[in-house]
Amino acid sequence: MPRFALKIEYDGSPFAGWQRQADQPSVQGATEAALAKLEPGAHTIAAAGRTDSGVHATGQVAHCDLTRDWEPFRLSEALNYHLKPAPVAITACARVDDDWHARFSATERRYLFRLAARRAPLALDAGRMWQVRMPLDAAAMQAGADHLLGRHDFTTFRAAMCQADSPVRTLDELRIEQMPTHAGQLFHIHVRARSFLHNQVRSFVGTLERVGSGHWPPEQVKTALEARDRAACGPVCPPQGLYLAGVTYPDDPFA
């Protein structure tokens, strides 16, 4: 059966996350339903990462096995037709080898978190970024973030229900970028690693907001990390500012 890689963009607001749910809408469910319109029957697709409820994606990657050897562009166009009106789009499609796997072939995942610090409500980006009311110190946030770089036991920064075998991960990038804006402050937080623990990025961002607002000194992030205790973590921030921005493979199937 021909295997296809799909690059997927979605607004996570109306979904209970990526993973198929029995009684709630999911991105996986919407995509599999669209596939069933093209080739009747049950379909199961695998993704590079399972995003939580309310989390968005600009570069999610999944793969599917089909009976027909579709021309990739026609497959993406047909899927986009049947995905309407769900806020899900196939932005690229490629034929891949039978042993290629969206999750297990990946060597890196990249996340973007969008954070606004302003008093006025978000008229255009409500539901697509996290808003806090008080100004944030970007330099202090970066100083705190630097303590998290490298290979560590991230027990403090993973959800209690995380199913990963080990809390040890290598964090390659955690960069605070202050963006130009006409009102308040806008931050893009770039996070990059081979793999992540459940709620790890949102735990990072919630903790760094405490630093940026002056409630924590940057050195307290190091103390929290070394505690290896979930109770030492700052608040877990809400999901709406988080985007799965991209997945890296040894050979980019979409190149």
Cα separation, 202 vs 238, in Å, equals: 7
pLDDT at 71: 98
Cα separation, 57 vs 52, in Å, equals: 11
Residue appearing with tokens 């199961």? 44
Burial 208-222 (b: 16+ CB within 10 A, else e): bbbbbbeebebebbe
pLDDT at 30: 98
What domains, with CATH codes, occur in the chain?
A: 3-105 (3.30.70.580), 108-246 (3.30.70.660)
- Token duo for residue 252: 């980019």
Tens digits of residue pLDDT in 157-214: 999 999 999 999 999 999 999 999 999 999 999 999 999 999 999 999 999 999 999 9
52 flagged as catalytic: yes
Q: Residue 138 contacts by C-beta under 8 Å, 6 or more apart in sequence?
A: 176, 178, 185, 187, 212
Cα separation, 236 vs 159, in Å, equals: 9
pLDDT at 218: 98
Q: Which of 238, 237, 239, 231 is nearest to 210 (CA)?
A: 237
| Active-site entry in 52, 137, 153, 172 | 52
One-character DSSP codes across 193-207: ES---TTHHHHHHHH
Which residue ranges of the chain lie beneath pLDDT 50? none
Cα separation, 252 vs 5, in Å, equals: 10
Tens digits of residue pLDDT in 83-95: 999 999 999 999 9
Cβ atoms of residues 156 and 224 within 8 Å: yes
Residue appearing with tokens 């806008």? 186
Cα separation, 75 vs 98, in Å, equals: 17
Say if strands 56-65 and 242-248 run parallel, antiparallel, or are unpaired. Answer: parallel
